Structure 1
Amino acid sequence: MKKLLRFSFIVLLILSFQKLMLGQSSELQYLSHLIKENSDTLNFNKIDSITTLFISQHPKIDETEFQKQINNLYTEDNLEQLVIYYFISGLYYEKDANYITAIKAYLTSIEFITGSNSNNYLVYYKTAFCYERLGYSQKAIDYYLKSVAYPDINANKLVEIYKNLGNCSIGLKKYKQSIKYYDKSYQAAELIADTITMIKTVINSGNTYLRAKNYPKATELTNKAYHFAKENNYYLGMAFSKFNLGLIELETNNYQNATKNLKEALSIAQKYSINYIFVNSHLFIAKSYLKQKKYRKSLNYIDKYIELADSETPNSQKLSAFTIRSEALLNLGNYSLVIRNNARLINVVDSILASNQEKYLKNIESTKTLEKNIIENKLLSKELEINRLKIIQSKRILWLSIFVFALLIIIIAQLFYTRKKQNKYLNKILYKNRIIAEKNSEISQQSEEVIRTNESLVEYQQKLETKVNDRTKELNAALEHAKQESELKSAFLKNISHEIRTPLNGIVGFVQIISLNNPEIEEKYLKIIQQNSYDLTNTVDNIIELAEIETSEIKVDVLKFRIASFIEEIEKKSFYVRQNLVKEDIDLKLNRNNIKQESHWTTDKKLLSKILYHLIHNAFKYTEKGNVTLDFNLDNSKLSIRISDTGIGMDKEYLVKIFDQFLKIENQEKLFRGTGAGLTIVKYLSQKLNVIINIQSVPGKGTSILLTLS
């Protein structure tokens, strides 16, 4: 620490002295003098320290003067100082959070790095850091790995780089790779006895196993982190460990243990002012109590969480909080507060959907900008390389010209001195003239080579410009495609808003009618409230499933199960759907063919159940009278399931595009509510399980859907 302070003081003195000596020169020239003194060794660590101190005193850079300095260095063919100036440019842009331009500067600096100086790692580290800030995890990993390839890298920086590699791997959902990098970070921290970093690394590893749903390993590492933190009186680590243990217990349905661990985390956070744990513990304790059907306690904790939440709280957590509060209030019978709470829930859903749309468009624009800058950077690098070759060729020609000129002077002097002996030395003179002619021929050949090289470089530059134009057209096409997707999502958002508000308005209206205490109409309107509540729940569930599909978070878990028990579960779900859609007058028929008690099938039971749920839901929804029939048939190595109804049916034009996103079927007499998301989910899950779907339908008579599993 003393050495660092002494070094900083010396730099300040040098800056002040340089300023006095140079008078009215620009601030950038002071920095230039300092850098030239360190350019022989190209010590990036020292340059980083000098520049960081300089930036704190001069936060704005004179870009015109800066470009002039670069042009001078280019003219002098001083590649070492050129590397340094681009590196400093990157530091300035990084400080202003202009990461794309910073990356461009760092990549240009990398283009001209020569040798294997051990501190060159810093340029790659800075590039990776900017990519990580922009969310390009794979690019960040590539450059972090290049930075750790240098053997003499600073130990503290090595710990940080491996931690960042672990974080980036989580962003790519490469959990095994993430664990590997966290282990390396732990080992590096252990070598320098950095206990706090070791504890944080163990907590990160536990979190990674939790994301990968490896709960035993997540529990083991999180318990280890807690005891490690407790031994070292590291209360932040203790709070996070207990908090994570609570989340693990919630995931494994151990709600009492989850409540216990979360309350311990809350106590530690309250005592030592750890705000993040203190606020979020209330949310998950409320969720745990809700699962235990302790609705009053759940309501107390969720109200406290909503009170503590601020503008920085993610909308997804707010959505979860209001959903928990709605369910608790509904079970406590407080319908008026349910209505108010659901109104706030709708605002959060609208905010989430709008935010996701904005992020989507920003990501497309950011990607386009970054690719454009990378292409410009490559063109700049080629241009600099061309100019560098020109300089080298010019120097060669200059030296050859000097050599020839000197040789001619020597020959003329020799001729003058030996004029009287001309006949005697005539043969020698002719021999030397032949040498001169050969040299001139070599010079001509080299000049022709330079011309040919320049022509090929011009041709290459033209080809490169053509590629840039082609790439620009591709990017414009991608942007147009993104706009079309945005319009589709906007239509879906309007439909979702309508589908949530319609059942809510029904609930509000009929609750007001029930409040009149008229026994004759109370049962009738309670059924309507039940149907609208079911529609609202089904809409929210479809939104969540679509979000999981878009983020590719749905995984296939193949297990062996008894078909008979599975059919019983489907039958119960069918009755549940019929009851909630208030379709008791529609008959449910269920047939089993060649299915015995011991018959088994192997697939993802949960995802298959979801497919059947959506199809059965549609069968009841679009059937006004008649029946819905489920046929299960086991034939050798094939299991077939047929869902038939006597509903409104579909025209052939709908059968062709039935699985398009958000499509709804309408008849001429009545419009049925719905987002059209159910069949989109069915299509995605069927592709996951390799289920073949065959649909037959007659308008006005009904629809028959056959699922075939091999």
Structure 2
Amino acid sequence: MNSINKFLLTIISFFVFNSFFAQKNNVEEKSLIKKYLRNAVDEFGDAHYDKALSSSKEALIKSYSINDNSYIAQSYNTIAAIYDECSDSKRAIEFYEKALKFAKLVKNDTLNNWIYGNLGSAYYFNDVDVKKGIEYYKKSIEFAEKIKDSSQIVYGKLNLASAYFADKDYENVEFLINQLRSYVLKKGTQDAKLSFYILQGMQNTYLKDKAEAEKNYFNALKIANETENYSFVLNIYENLKKHYKEFDEKDLEEKYSAKHDSLHKELYSEDKMTSLEKQALGIELDEYKIQLEKIEDQSEKSTKIIKTSKLVLILFMVIVIILLLLLLTLYKSIKTREKLNLELKYANDELQIAKEKAEEASRLKSQFVSTITHELRTPLYGVIGITNILLDEHKELANSPHLKSLKFSAKYLLSLVNDVLQINKIEEKKLVLEDLIFNLADEIETIKSSIEYIADKNNNKLVIEIDTEIPEFLIGDKLRLSQIIMNLMSNALKFTKNGEVSITADLERIENTTYYIAFKVKDNGVGIAEEHQKNIFDKFVQIERKEEDYQGTGLGLSIVSSLIKLFNSEIKLESEEGVGTTFSFTIGFEHDEEKSRAIINEIEVDLSLQHTYNILVIEDNKINQLVTKKIIQNSNLNCTIVDDGYAALVAIERENFDVILMDINMPLINGFETTRKIREKGYKMPIVALTAFDKQEVSDEVFASGMNDILIKPFEPTKLYQIISNHLHKKESDD
């Protein structure tokens, strides 16, 4: 059998484990065990196997005495390796298996790696069972890979390749040689190189490559002599003898056969073998002695137990009496608990009924809010739209206080409706932040324009200060941010007269791509008394003030607080009566140039007016028809209006339309079903839902029915132009 690195594997295992398992207890005994194991390694290296075995035996006895499984495993591993080296495979396997038993108890992957490898060598190198040796090598490699020990992976694969060679699996041999060559020759130890050269030589001999085989064998022989690894020298002589026999060179075959026999007698003399045999019997006797001592120790413990049995019996009787009392108490407790459980069941049933009623009430409330907001938004769309038409067609009314009051009242009522819907969403946790690109300065300027009427009414000055370090484009929920700032500034303007309201935005810090911006809304109005500050953000809270100052529902600041929490932030209040109020908060927004450009390219679309576009409006409300038609015609688009979905299906058959604006809540057939029928007929023109329902409430069904977009009424005409423009541009690009 061609032994590649059995010696290498065994020796290294001693060095690794004699330092791995030191513990605080039994320090002196463990120090002595280490010394014995170290002596065994040294004697083994000098081929003094009887002395190595004697030291290993002492280590084993000491390990048993302190009941240290790791050292017991190491001692057995050392003993097994010595017998393995001396070709006593039966005893080697017996002691390796004992080592493995104790190694498994300590669950150490490194120790298992070595012992599985050594067991593989015992089965393979001694011609016991090559295939079983291969299985043990594979397990050893698994543990080596688990602990990521590259050197042990190499040693394991070298042994595995040798076993494959013996099993005539030359394909796997070649695979492993090619896999290992670069690592071993560049980074491998002398022992690893020595093993690799022998393996390569064996493969060359098999492939009839005489010169290459001899080159590898003599490279190995050189390393073995330099490192005084005589077991490897013996192995190389054996392989050279077989090599020259293969090529029918009898003189050289006899030469290396003689060298092999001479060295073998020197290393494994009969006296040494006899001594090892005696040592083996001694180890077995010591094991029996250790077991006997354990039995005697157990017997002594049993005697002590018997002496205390009477006391235990008395204690047992006392415990039984106590247990009986406890059982009686437990019985009474169980009866009491059954009664309480019955009462609890009745209470739970009542709670369940109350819960179901509360859920039904919540559902009805949500349905009511949804219906009311829809029914209010629909006429508001008409009021605001008609007001805008009057202002467009009758420029002389631009400064009419009555018309301005009408428009303001309509917008104020719309704001109130939105606040009610918003607070309902917050309570039901239906609000989700969206990522949209926006320019902070533009957003605040838009807010300023929309509240200038309130500022002028109270003769207030609006001041905006924006940090120039803030990027031009940010990504975040601009709608929620606008709602926060709008509510805070509107609130400040209501309670400030002949004063100043300012909004400042400063870049506070940058974390990766997130820019944290600190906002402050400050006024020099009436201020808030300290006793009111703690509940200023509660719903429907109205601070006591003059009756003529009464404005609003008390929802604005509650909505602000809830929205800021959605941004994972909090709002701070500083106020003093007669001096003014400052609200401050910090929100993080993403800044990403590439993402910003991509979003801008999607939304920045100009409507080409070189063509005439036909827009179909499906709307049952006559006032809304008038408003929508006027908005569309103002942008030089053709507008056709029908009252219901069936009329729309007829109109589409007769005329080509570029965009359809679809109301959802219609008699006869609603907007969803109308859209489905249009799509079933194969029409692909963009369909935009115009609805007074909340966007989040209907968006899923809108897109499921085949519509392309949603616009909530009332809306700004520019918003409608932008949506139509985007879809027309996209349609032209697709065509």
Taking structure 1 as the reference length, what is the TM-score of the superposition? Answer: 0.29
The one of the two structures with greater contact order (alpha-carbon pairs below 8 A, sep at least 6) is: 2
Higher fraction of helix: 1
Normalising by structure 2, we get a TM-score of 0.28
